[in-house]
């Protein structure tokens, strides 16, 4: 019998109706701006993970980059920070698939085997049970990629950039493998404060600065790991969208920042 990681935030962060969810995701994707694809054999995205009313438009800008013709994505390595369960390392689930209202996404057993022996990798269902940072990205991936992809989901607890980069080096090995880092940016600043800090954070990400701190991004550790791996591969980052909840949901007194980025080889 297949072991499913069932949705934790369906009906809270996004609609629980498959029809409503698909329609909303499609709208965010359609509203995003397409950019010429970066080249090379490696691709990666950074996308936000708040409730869709807040971060969905920015996530759409990120995942829309998978829609133009390019190397097909068949396997997704998805990392996001732990918000509810404290632990050390990077956590795999004890599951065979992740479920959303749009269907089930199988866990990639071969990619899982590649990282299971690393000391920083643990198996922890509690780390995944209530965590939203990975779950909210899946409907976007399902809408863009269909049902033809497998998933390596890793929740990142207390860790460091090199530990994350070591995991990525084990699995980021072919053009059909996409790395997605789930992270919001600044939290609960005024609109003007957040806009300034997030713009500076975006510049640091584009410089592949691997020293981001948690006040700049809740997913600073997985982002730093991605940037370290990207630097070693000679990849280029690109800012696709930079907004905050004051832009999308109206209240500007205390906002959360969101950024969309992609990474690949610079165009010739």
Q: What tokens appear for 84 in the block?
A: 């509810």
8 Å CB contact between 46 and 63:
no
The pair of three-digit structure tokens given for residue 22, joined into one six-digit string: 């698909």
Residues 6+ apart with CB under 8 A from 70: 37
How high does pLDDT run on average in the chain? 94
Pairing of strands 97-100, 4-5: parallel
List, in sequence order, every residue forming a beta bridge with 244; answer none if it has no partner: 257
Binning pLDDT at 50, 70 and 90, where does residue 70 land?
low
Give the mean model confidence (pLDDT) for residues 10-32. 96
Beta strands 121-123 and 90-92, pairing class: parallel
Q: Determine the average pLDDT of the residues in 53-82.
A: 91
Q: What share of the chain is helix, strand, coil (3-state, %, to 5)?
A: 35, 25, 35
Asked whether residue 33 carries a pLDDT value surpassing 80, the answer given is no
- The span from the CA of 171 to the CA of 178, in Å, is 10
Tens-place pLDDT, residues 42-61: 599 999 999 999 999 999 99
Give pLDDT, residue 265.
83
The answer to whether residue 155 scores a pLDDT higher than 60 is yes
pTM: 0.96
pLDDT at 67: 83
Question: Rounded to whole angstroms, what are the CA distances from 41 to 83, 197, 221?
Answer: 32, 32, 24
| Res. 38: pLDDT tops 80 | no
Position 153 pLDDT exceeds 70: yes
Least confidently predicted of 4-18, 21-35, 183-197: 21-35
Name all domains of the chain by residue range, CATH numbers in brackets: 4-265 (3.40.830.10)
Say yes or no to pLDDT of 40 above 60. Answer: no
Whether 56 contacts 198, CB under 8 Å: no
User: Mind listing the pLDDT tens digit for each residue in 210-235?
Assistant: 999 999 999 999 999 999 999 999 99
39 pLDDT tier (thresholds 50, 70, 90): low
User: 266 pLDDT exceeds 90?
Assistant: no
Strand-pairing partners, residue 189, are 255
Query: How many Å apart are CA 53 and CA 69, to the nearest integer?
Result: 29
Number of helices followed by number of strands (H, E) in the chain: 9, 12
């Amino acid at each position: 019998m297949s072991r499913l990681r069932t949705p934790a935030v369906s009906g809270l962060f996004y609609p629980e109706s498959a029809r409503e969810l698909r329609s909303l995701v499609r709208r965010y994707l359609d509203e995003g701006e397409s950019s010429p694809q970066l080249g090379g054999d490696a691709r990666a995205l950074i996308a936000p993970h708040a409730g869709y009313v807040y971060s969905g438009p920015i996530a759409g800008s990120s995942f829309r980059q998978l829609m133009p013709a390019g190397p097909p994505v068949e396997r997704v390595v998805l990392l996001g920070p732990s918000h509810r369960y404290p632990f050390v390392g990077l956590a795999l689930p004890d599951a065979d698939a992740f479920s959303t209202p749009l269907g089930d996404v199988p866990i990639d057993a071969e990619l899982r085997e590649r990282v299971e022996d690393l000391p920083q990798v643990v198996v922890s269902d509690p780390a995944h049970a209530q965590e939203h940072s990975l779950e909210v990205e899946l409907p976007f991936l399902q809408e863009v990629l269909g049902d033809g992809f497998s998933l390596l989901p890793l929740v990142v607890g207390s860790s460091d950039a090199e530990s994350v980069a070591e995991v990525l080096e084990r699995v980021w090995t072919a053009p059909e493998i996409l790395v997605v880092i789930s992270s919001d940016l600044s939290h609960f600043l005024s609109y003007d404060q957040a806009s300034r800090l997030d713009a500076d954070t975006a510049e640091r990400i584009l410089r592949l600065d691997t020293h981001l701190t948690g006040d700049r991004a809740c997913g600073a550790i997985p982002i730093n790991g991605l940037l370290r791996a990207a630097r070693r591969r000679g990849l280029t980052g690109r800012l696709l969208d930079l907004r905050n909840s004051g832009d999308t949901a109206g209240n500007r007194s205390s906002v959360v920042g969101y950024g969309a980025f992609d990474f690949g080889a610079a165009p010739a």
